[in-house]
A = this chain, B = another copy of it.
Amino acid sequence: MEEAFTAALRHNGQLVTDYLLDYFKKTDITPDYLREGVNFYVRKGGKRLRPAVVFWACELAGGDAATALPAAAAIELMHTGTLVHDDIIDRDYMRRGGPSMHAHFQDHFKTQIALNLLQHFSNSIAMLVGDIQYSLAIAMMNDLPLSVDRQVVQWLIHNLSAHWVPEVMSGETLDVQYAWQSLAEVDEAMILAMLNKKTASTFALAGKTGALIGLNKLDLEHPMVTQLEELCRNAGLAFQLQDDILGIIGDQDELGKPVGSDIREGKKTILVTHAYNKATPTQRQILENILGKSDATGAEIKQAEQLLVDLGGVDYVRGLADKYIKLAQTALAALPDHPVKRYFKDWIDFMINRSC
């Protein structure tokens, strides 16, 4: 990864973190542990791949990146809210190298609450944390400076609340549904449609939002808007496909979450469906037995992982991710020359050349 890109990512990420923590300070949230919960994932950092795009898209479209800060923060916070709720849904106990939100509450209250109530209480408070984060993210858009066209601001607020949230929740629902459906019921097209809603939509939103603020007029058909949305949507799809690969062959320490959880949850990724389609009846039996087995042993996880690799699942999804990365690169090439394009180039590369 290029040095300048890493530095820019870190710089923009810090702006977003500072903005969010300051915003939370100005919001009345009690008791303290609920307020701390709202801060929790934000303090942990993260790659901040989405807000970075908002800044750069704004510049590329002719704006001053600084004006886009509230929108960049809003999109990061929306994403954070989805992580909090997803982690409850997926029963993930780790996130960014530490406890997930509900796991944190379990730890925090373990000496005060009876064991039979602890898990439910922790999930409940984590749910309320996510509720607040979604809501504050929408509110934040209103903080865009007065120099930003009011029609743009209103559209951003409306789009986030009327379209983006239902779309992402639809994607999340399908993801959870596929997990309990049998391998034979779920195919690649269904998964791609789900990934578009659940993951790519947020990256697409980031590109579109930055472009509209940079243009400073509500021109949704402007090539800058459509091209940046296209670029980010495709890179976002590649990002999720890479995520699915890391869920099988990634390094637990680098990822900050346990390897094998995708298998124990029975997640239906394209990697899995592709391998399943190539498998012999005996191999299918093995996959069906282990995928979704919440108490699968380490040996079983290893066996399933090996099978998914041997059946070409990883190679296939890597090829698919490359295809979407190329589409993103084509969209980038069509955009006018600008110094910020090199960040986009590195960003696109990073979306798949990452180990965490």
Contacts and interface: CB of A to CB of B under 8 A. Distances in A.
Interface of A: 27-31, 34, 85, 88-89, 91, 112-114, 117, 120-121, 124-125, 127-128, 130-132, 134-136, 138-139, 142, 150, 154, 157-158, 160-163, 165-167, 169-170, 172-174, 176-177, 180
28 contacts: A27-B166, A28-B163, A28-B166, A29-B170, A30-B174, A31-B170, A31-B173, A31-B177, A34-B170, A85-B128, A88-B124, A88-B127, A112-B180, A113-B180, A125-B173, A131-B131, A131-B165, A131-B169, A132-B165, A134-B134, A135-B160, A135-B161, A136-B162, A136-B165, A139-B162, A142-B157, A142-B158, A157-B157
B30 A170 contact: yes
Contacts of A172: 128
A165 B129 CA distance: 11
B170 A28 contact: yes
Number of copies: 2
A89 B135 contact: no
A167 B167 CA distance: 26
A contact face: mostly helix, strand, loop, or mixed: helix
B28 A167 contact: yes
Contacts of A139: 158, 161-162
A92 to B, nearest CB: 13
Contact of A180 (B114, B142, B157): B114
B127 A127 contact: yes
